Amino acid sequence: MSDEKILSVTELTKQIKGVLELGFTNIWIQGEISNFKLHSSGHIYFTLKDASSQISAVMWRSRAAQLIFRPNDGMKVMVRGNITVYEPRGNYQIDCFQLQPLGKGELQQAFEQLKQKLFEEGLFEEENKKSLPVFPQKIGIVTSPTGAAIRDILSVLSRRFPSIEVILVPVKVQGIGAAEEIAEAIADLNRQKLVDVMIIGRGGGSLEDLWAFNEEIVARAVFASTIPIISAVGHEIDFSISDFVADLRAPTPSAAAELVVKDKNEVVELIRNFCYTMNNSMINSFEAYKNTVSNLTQSYSFNKPHDMLRQRSQQIDELQNRLTRNMLHSFSMTKQRTQFLSSRIKTTNPKSILKRGFAIVRQDESIISSVKKSISAKPATIEFHDGIIDAEILRKRK
């Protein structure tokens, strides 16, 4: 005993912890949930069991908050995580990274829970949906490179519009890691901006087979895409979460190809119709202008310009005559007024009065208008109509 290493319980537990935690990483386990407990801290504790064995499980709050469903006792699930050892009790447990429902009932419940959650966040609102380009030049397809979906899509595209360019981003469409690959492919096409529109989807299958398109990570990648997305998952009766978030849902991959491009024959016919319409419109316009020109050339004003000029000349003569008459009348009235005023001026002229025998007497250059104003024995002048004589006032008579 003295030569052997004696381990403490703690040392043994640490060695077991090292072996287990290094040897069992990123493993998937399936089983049934029991003893489920949501702690006040937000952590989840439960037991995962099958018919013969059980293992403790824990999911920390940060990961538990991202679950798309609410786990319950009796629910069959798949768990991905690492084996860890809880040293205080020496128990081993699985530290869960991912938790997925396994049974169809559980999957349907998870589907409804995530659908309600995203609906309340507004990811399904019509106002958030983008319009598809009318004539896309490049189409991105996110699907399995070996599935029936890609064959159907390429077949329809080559028939309807063979010149269209297709960029395939190959991904897994079911199983572990499929949702992450789909989401990353959508993000890559957006980062590189290589395409005008995108189709994501796969062929038909069970609810479990289609589940990758019901994952929250895919739904949020579709919503975040700036490139319009058509979701084409399964058959017409199948609905996925990506169908509700996408800008357009196609019942099948083939229908998605029908929706994304127009038939070349329809486009050619549309161009023909445009050409026919434009040609008719031009012909009708030419005819209308031709009729207008014809009507103008046949009009009186176009054919009788000299007559119109003569009429205008006659009107000018009439206006000129009217102006002359008005001016002569105005001159006559002015002349009569002038003569009348001139006669009045002559009548009131002092020299005209002198001709009738009157005279003007002045002394010291002032007019003597009364006897009282005259000065005796002082020289004076008397103005007659034909001249002026000197005089002297001798005396005044009373």
CB 80, CB 28: distance < 8 Å? yes
Q: Which residues pair with residue 27 across a beta bridge?
A: 81
Q: How far is CA 194 from the centre of its chain?
A: 24
Backbone angles phi, psi at 27, to 5 degrees: -105, 155
What would the DSSP string read from start to end of 101-127?
E-SHHHHHHHHHHHHHHHHHHTTT-GG
- Give residue 150's pLDDT: 93
Closest to 74 (Cα-Cα) out of 118, 22, 36: 36
Model pLDDT, residue 267:
66
- The answer to whether 79 and 18 have CB atoms below 8 angstroms apart is no
CA 336 from chain centre, in angstroms, equals: 83
Whole-angstrom Cα distance, residue 121 to residue 115? 10
The number of beta carbons lying within 10 Å of the beta carbon of residue 264 is 14
Please say whether the beta carbons of 242 and 213 come within 8 A: yes
| Per-residue pLDDT, 68 | 64
pLDDT of residue 384: 82
Q: Which pLDDT does position 118 carry in this prediction?
A: 93
> Which pLDDT tens digits describe the chain residue by residue (398 residues)?
556 788 888 888 888 888 888 888 999 999 999 999 988 888 999 999 998 999 999 999 888 877 766 788 888 888 999 999 888 888 889 999 988 887 666 678 778 888 999 999 999 999 999 999 988 999 999 999 998 899 999 999 988 888 889 999 999 998 767 888 999 999 999 999 989 999 999 988 877 788 889 989 999 999 999 999 999 998 888 889 999 999 999 999 999 999 999 877 676 667 788 787 888 888 888 888 888 887 877 776 666 676 777 777 888 888 888 898 899 888 889 888 888 888 777 777 777 777 777 888 888 778 887 777 777 777 888 878 788 888 877 766 66
Give the ranges where 24-103 is alpha helix by DSSP (H): 61-64
Provide the pLDDT for residue 130: 94
pLDDT score at 226: 95
**Tokens encoding 189:** 């096409």
pLDDT of amino acid 156: 92
